[in-house]
Structure 1
Amino acid sequence: MAKSSMSKMSSPKSRTSKLVLPEGSAIALVYRLETAQAVSLAKKVADHLKEKNFKVLTGPEQKLIPGTKAAKTKDLNDVKLIIVLGGDGTYLRAVRMLEGRNVPILGFNMGSLGFLTAHSAESTFAIIEKTLAGKMVLRPRSMLVAKINRKGKTRGEYHALNDVVIERGSMSQLINTAIYSEKFLVSEVKADGFIVASPSGSTAYNLAAGGPILHPESPVFVVTPVAPHSLTSRPLIFPDDRELSFKLDAKKTQKAHFIVDGQKMTEITPDDEVVLTRSCYDHWMVREPDHNYFHLLREKLKFGDRS
């Protein structure tokens, strides 16, 4: 369950801001687990930061990087930056680790795709130097908040950077789900599941399921059915100031898996109502000032490539 302590949404006029790290600030490292290359780079990054007089911590639930302090959850309150060395899965693990704290993340890709970890591993020290020199900017990404309500009480609250998924899991039958927007029925759909994706998550599971690519600063989210049992069931884009809710059909579906950013959190039943809104807190990514999202699409997904 995420804490509500991230910085609140910025206004459209202040979509970016400079990242300034005073000397002596605490920086946490999160690396790709059980990967020798990531562990080796983490050690080098830690040494480099200590030489610059920064306090370096190893993120929770990881093997301690030599010469650093093991960060406990309470230590993250004082961290000013997280550096991720891994793939997008490692990045999302760092987001979960923060539990809603207002800490920007600088990601270096050591995985296969790297939409969230947009900087190459080869550029690690050059980008870190630019970051320490105050030459990088913070770009906001909207997040989703999902509440699971049962009999008038909230039994779970979760924040997601990429997506929230309701799916049948290993069960053989499709799930029957009613979708509501502001309490108005949108549709009743029979499918393997449903993806509710933020703009950041639109290039993840949503894209694989046939959903649209959303610009990362679009004030919307998208609901995409997974393998629907109807040709008329298509992805729907909603303004992110609307409340969406999902409820299983008690006559046809007994339970479903509830997944947040790729991690199964719980199971839901027809007694539950899943309510989704945009979180009032944004996540902040560290980017170069001339970062180009469309270049990222072309590079990572070969977007528009006709060859």
Structure 2
Amino acid sequence: MSRRVLVLAHTGREDSLRAAWDACGQLHYSGLIPVMQKSELDDIERFFGVVDKPIEILHEDVRLEDVELVMVLGGDGTILRAAELVRNVDVPLLGVNLGHVGFLAESERADLAQTVEWIASREYTVEERMTIDVQVWVRGQKIWHTWALNEAAIEKADRERMIEVVTEVDERPLTSFGCDGVVLATPTGSTAYAFSSGGPVVWPEVEALVIVPISAHALFAKPLVVSPRSKLAVEILTRTDAQGVLWCDGRRSVDLPPGARIEVTRSTRPVRLARTHQTPFSARLVRKFELPIHGWRGPAPRSADIHTGPTPVIRTFKPSPLPTPQDVRTGRAADPTKEM
């Protein structure tokens, strides 16, 4: 049975066009069928001329459900766009970073040929990343319903005015404050907007939701980590007429009038990410953020690995009883240095 790989690229950049061209050629020579969206294939042909490689067109020659994997060439924004594309199917994403940090990407541009080899030999695993379900209510009516892989970010609409909000966990109010916004993030999104706003880094295998206020004017407006089963909500208060805006993954937005209510819960449909090697998350943090680790010595030797000499024998002395007055008178006081 033929194996198909969808190549998704940021075709507005020359380096991405070249990477897509190379990826399609290497997939073909590895016995796989490259697939592209028609608009992106047209961009490549305008840049390189007529493509002499057999490339199938998505939705014309092949359905998305028949694709084994999506190879995403670009930064995290391109990967988030790919996540939208595969939202309703179980096709995993494998990112090749062409951007700056590229935290969601699995490999770098220099590893493109090796990545294709791993795909051809099926040397990859698939992990599921939690997503969130996002609803917006105004005066009892649901006006918007979407999802996010990274975060739902509530922001002020006007630079000159902050918004007044009240946060809620499990249908109980927590605190109200004025702020520039609030980020409701997944563990995957903890290293994105939430991280930039001072939130904690959450390991991907930890199931949790994160609430991070942005520039809040309040004492208790601190980042919170709550259960993934919790229902989170943020209400735009009506004590001012300041407007807000909700962004999901920085790609989809809706305006928030005073009185709007944003509800966030864990979604039942995760995003599947392909991994070609099991790099610990801590190592990914160090590499992506270029963290200083000079001077690290590693774990101390375990006791079973330590060899010592024989245990020394310690001679003990039993203290003599104190002499009684009669012993002193008769000269029979005990010798305190006598060994027992």
Select the structure with the greater relative contact order (CA < 8 A; seq sep ≥ 6): 1
Partners of 2:241 and 2:40 in 1: CA distance? 39
- Aligned residue pairs total 285
- Matches of 1:50 and 1:135 in 2, distance apart? 18
| Cα offsets for 1:139-189 (capped at 9, x unmatched) | 111111101123444322211111110001334211111111111001112
Structure 1 unaligned spans of 5+: 1-22
Residue identity matched to 1:159: W
Asked whether the 8 Å contact 2:163–2:181 carries over to 1, the reply is yes
1:162 is aligned to 150
Higher share in strand: 1
Per the alignment, residue 5 of structure 2 pairs with: 27
Mapping of residues 172-191 of structure 1, within 5 Å:
172-191=160-179
CA distance in 1, matches of 2:258, 2:27: 51
Query: How much is the aligned-residue C-alpha RMSD, in angstroms?
Result: 2.2
Tell which deviates more after alignment, 155-164 or 144-153.
Answer: 144-153
Q: Could you tell me which residue of structure 2 aligns to residue 123 of structure 1?
A: 111
Question: SS of 2:40's equivalent?
Answer: coil
Is 1:45–2:23 an aligned residue pair? yes
Equivalent residue for 1:230?
Answer: 218
Tell me the alpha carbon deviations over residues 185-228 of structure 1, each in whole angstroms, 9 at most, x when there is no partner. 01112100011111111111111111110001111011101111
Match of 1:71 among 55, 58, 79: 58
Instruction: Describe the superposition over 1:250-287 as per-residue Cα deviations: whole angstroms up to 9, x where unpaired.
Output: 12244211101112411112343211011111111111
5+ residue gaps, structure 2: 45-50, 296-340
Deviates more, 1:95-104 or 1:194-203: 95-104
Take 2:152 and 2:273, find their aligned partners in 1: how far apart are those partners? 20
Q: What is the correspondence of 1:92-103 to structure 2 with a 5 Å cutoff?
A: 92-103=80-91
**Counterpart Cα distance in 2 of 1:189 and 1:304:** 36
How many angstroms does 1:232 deviate by? 2.8
Q: What secondary structure, in the 3-state scheme, does the structure 1 residue paired with 2:16 have?
A: helix
Q: Distance in 1 between the 2:63 and 2:156 partners?
A: 38
**Partner in structure 2 of residue 220 of structure 1:** 208
| TM-score when normalising by structure 2 | 0.78
Work out the CA distance in 1 between the residues paired with 2:56 and 2:180. Answer: 44
* 2:161/2:242 contact within 8 Å kept: no
Q: Do 1:141 and 1:285's aligned partners in 2 also have CA atoms closer than 8 Å?
A: yes
Counterpart position of 2:239: 251
Residues 99/77 of structure 1: CA separation in 2 closer, same or farther (3 Å cut): same
Within 1, Cα distance between the matches of 2:220 and 2:137?
29
Note the alpha carbon deviations across 1:111-151, whole angstroms, 9 max, x for none: 11111013111111212211221211011111111011234
- Most deviating of 26-35 and 48-57: 48-57
**Distance in 1 between the 2:185 and 2:132 partners?**
8
Q: How far does the alpha carbon of each residue in 1:218-243 deviate from its partner, in whole angstroms, 9 at most, with x for none?
A: 11011101111124311011111111
* % identical aligned pairs: 23
Distance in 1 (alpha carbons) for counterparts of 2:18 and 2:253: 32
TM-score under structure 1 length normalisation: 0.85
